[in-house]
Amino acid sequence: MYVRPVGLCLFQGCREVSSLLVSIRDCRHSKRDRQWIQDVYGEYLDALSDLNTGLFSVLGADNPREHEIFANWFANDHSHPLVILKGSDLVGFALVSRPRIPAAGETAADYNMSEFFVRPPYRRAGIGREAATLIFDRFAGAWEIVEYERNPGAVAFWRRVLTMYCKGRFTERARNGEVHQRFTSRPSASR
């Protein structure tokens, strides 16, 4: 059952799942939400550094470029930073981006899931799946999600989410150590 509480902005949506209220909130103009993301970003990088790709160890709390990363998230018109909530508790974040240039030989996606993180204590409870569903419904269009092959948990998570959300109608291919899934989302009323 999809519920849109009265008085919430367009970027919020709620869904009742076995007594668990999951919502997303656009946090572009919220200093509190932005600070929360910056505070937990280290947890996210720690989880990614365990993949041994060599890409994530250069970022972190002591990196002077981290400020630039967040400035881009919150100032770029092609970025949509979101917080994920369980009730009133902040439990994760996502960054939806609008790609500017498609990969060679491909049509451009309307949206990419650039970042997606649910804090470990809140995983395996359906929160990530519900948040992803709310995000896909909010940003209807052609999507691409990319995971590292070395992150089998993320690959399995997105396969499960997309199998349920799209009823299996998505494409997937592996290349250059990454798994790419493409699909089209529609607002919840038209699904």
pLDDT of 170 over the 50 cut: yes
Phi/psi at 98 (nearest 5 deg)?
-105, 110
> Tens digits of per-residue pLDDT, 2-56?
333 333 333 444 444 444 699 999 998 899 999 999 899 888 887 777 665 444 4
Both ends of the chain: CA-CA distance in Å? 13
> Tens digits of per-residue pLDDT, 117-164?
999 999 999 999 999 999 999 999 999 999 999 899 999 999 999 999
pLDDT of 98 over the 50 cut: yes
Q: What is the pLDDT of residue 28?
A: 87
Q: What is the pLDDT of residue 3?
A: 36
The residue-averaged pLDDT of 103-129 equals 90
Question: Which residue segments constitute the domains of the chain, with CATH numbers given?
Answer: 2-190 (3.40.630.30)
**DSSP state letters, 128-149:** HHHHHHHHHHHS-EEEEEEEET
Under the banding of pLDDT at 50, 70 and 90, the label for residue 185 is very high
Under the banding of pLDDT at 50, 70 and 90, the label for residue 1 is very low
The residue-averaged pLDDT of 66-80 equals 82
Q: What is the pLDDT of residue 50?
A: 64
Q: What is the pLDDT of residue 85?
A: 96
d(CA 82, CA 35): 12
Closest CA to 177 of 151, 148, 143, 153: 148
pTM: 0.80
